[in-house]
Amino acid sequence: MRVVNFSAGPAMLPTVVMERAQAEFCDYKGTGCGVMEHSHRGPLFDEILARAIGNVREILGVSDAYDVVFIQGGASMQFAMIPMNFMKPGGYAEFADTGTWSSKAMKEAKLFGEVKVIASSKEDKYKYIPAFDTWQPSTAEASYLHITSNNTIYGTQYRDFPTANSPMIADMSSDIMSRRFDMNKFAMVYAGAQKNLGPSGLALCIIRKDLIARTPANVPTMLRYETYTANNSLYNTPPTYGIYMLALVTDWIREIGGIDAIEKINDAKAAALYSAIDASEGYYNCPVRPDSRSRMNVVFRLPNEELEAKFVKEAKAAGMIGLKGHRSVGGIRASIYNAVPMEGVEKLVNFMNDFKKANG
């Protein structure tokens, strides 16, 4: 029996996708072997790769001005690849510091140039996204501006995006394909796959073509974006099974109606959960400012840590896992990515109401 999995990542995948993968695990389309065992240079994998890319383009409305590539090493590898490729000689990059992942991206960028923080909510424990009119204006000389669209640990999310003067790059690891956004505002968008797209280890990178020429000559082959864009992600052996799973997940998004349909469901899920928190008269307390609340990672506290531990334990016994908050912040975190169904959220809401009655 499958549980409701509220883990932050690797996270729940749609059950129909898991079943489809299972059905073709040993024998993909009558070939007598599984996807994992097929050559990455054969027609079978060509079709899978083309389908994955085509789905990404369709779902996110990615124009021909961008390349869509898959790179190993997860989102964290991108923290280093971005400055390696795009930091201008002697240049600097601008960052909005909205949490742990932004900070990790800054740490890598500092190895290749200067980092200027133009917006930050660090002093307020990252409990909101700084209003755009408070940002120190982005300048045209910056190599790029980096933002984190959804802060997986702190449970904050951009409602919309600033208009930047320099190329804007977003880490969308924990909310990609959860809602509509205008790709044309961005020079690059990237995401580790394990939240909304598939298995861990794989990063989806969507890169505007004009940026590719910037890479300095001394960046090693496997760390150059051009290696991936010029070879359609097939310079070396790519993580074929991860790309296959991403193709299945994106097939599923298209089948249920695409980005607008998934956004509507996500909005309903988040509304149900935040309503339960707000209706609890402070028993459940969300530390995030209401205008910055994430629709993917819903964080909240109980009156004390003992009750939080009891909550996690009893939820698990009731078939709901992954609710413990990140070790750096504590509390409870319900990650309600695309694959978590509305029924799963309703089950959690009922559990929360019952738990409060029994322990209030």
Ligand X SMILES: *Cc1c(COP(=O)(O)O)cnc(C)c1O
The one segment of 34-42, 134-142, 167-175, 245-253 that binds ligand X by CB under 6 A: 167-175
Contact 7, 321 (CB under 8 A): yes
- Nearest approach, Cβ of residue 171 and ligand X (Å): 5
Contact 278, 262 (CB under 8 A): no
User: Pick from 7, 120, 143, 152: which binds ligand X (CB under 6 A)?
Assistant: 152
User: Pick from 21, 60, 75, 262: which binds ligand X (CB under 6 A)?
Assistant: 75
SS3 content of the chain, % helix, strand, coil (to 5): 40, 15, 40
- Nearest approach, Cβ of residue 26 and ligand X (Å): 28
Options 67, 97, 101, 127, the catalytic residue: 101
Give the separation between CA 219 and CA 184, rounded to whole angstroms. 27
Residue 74 amino acid letter: G
Q: What are phi and psi of 213, to 5 degrees?
A: -70, -15
How many CB atoms are located within 10 Å of the residue 338 CB? Answer: 27
Q: Does 6 bind ligand X (CB under 6 A)?
A: no
**CB-based contacts of 322, cutoff 8 Å, min separation 6:** 5, 6, 7, 8, 11, 335
- Nearest approach, Cβ of residue 269 and ligand X (Å): 18
Q: Is 171 a catalytic residue?
A: yes
The one segment of 55-63, 73-81, 85-93, 273-281 that binds ligand X by CB under 6 A: 73-81
The one segment of 50-58, 169-177, 246-254, 270-278 that binds ligand X by CB under 6 A: 169-177
Give the separation between CA 79 and CA 173, rounded to whole angstroms. 12
**CB-based contacts of 254, cutoff 8 Å, min separation 6:** 55, 58, 59
Q: Does 76 bind ligand X (CB under 6 A)?
A: yes
Q: Does 178 bind ligand X (CB under 6 A)?
A: no
Q: Does 101 bind ligand X (CB under 6 A)?
A: yes
Q: For residues 184-223, which are near ligand X according to CB under 6 A?
A: 192, 200
- Nearest approach, Cβ of residue 118 and ligand X (Å): 19
User: Which CB, 92 or 158, lies closer to ligand X?
Assistant: 158
Site string for ligand X, 26-65 (x = CB under 6 A): ----------------------------------------
Distance of CA 271 to the CA centre of its chain: 20
Cβ-closest residue to ligand X? Answer: 74
Q: Does 308 bind ligand X (CB under 6 A)?
A: no
Give the separation between CA 40 and CA 58, rounded to whole angstroms. 23
User: Pick from 14, 74, 322, 325: which binds ligand X (CB under 6 A)?
Assistant: 74
Give the separation between CA 10 and CA 6, rounded to whole angstroms. 10
Contact 151, 101 (CB under 8 A): yes
What's the Cα-to-Cα distance from 114 to each of 6, 96, 160, 174, rounded to whole Å? Answer: 37, 14, 27, 26
Q: Is 195 a catalytic residue?
A: yes
Options 127, 171, 324, 356, the catalytic residue: 171
The one segment of 107-115, 171-179, 230-238, 248-256 that binds ligand X by CB under 6 A: 171-179
Options 127, 195, 269, 356, the catalytic residue: 195
User: Which residues does the annotation mark as catalytic?
Assistant: 101, 171, 195
Site residues, ligand X (CB under 6 A): 9, 74-76, 101, 148, 152, 171, 173-174, 192, 200
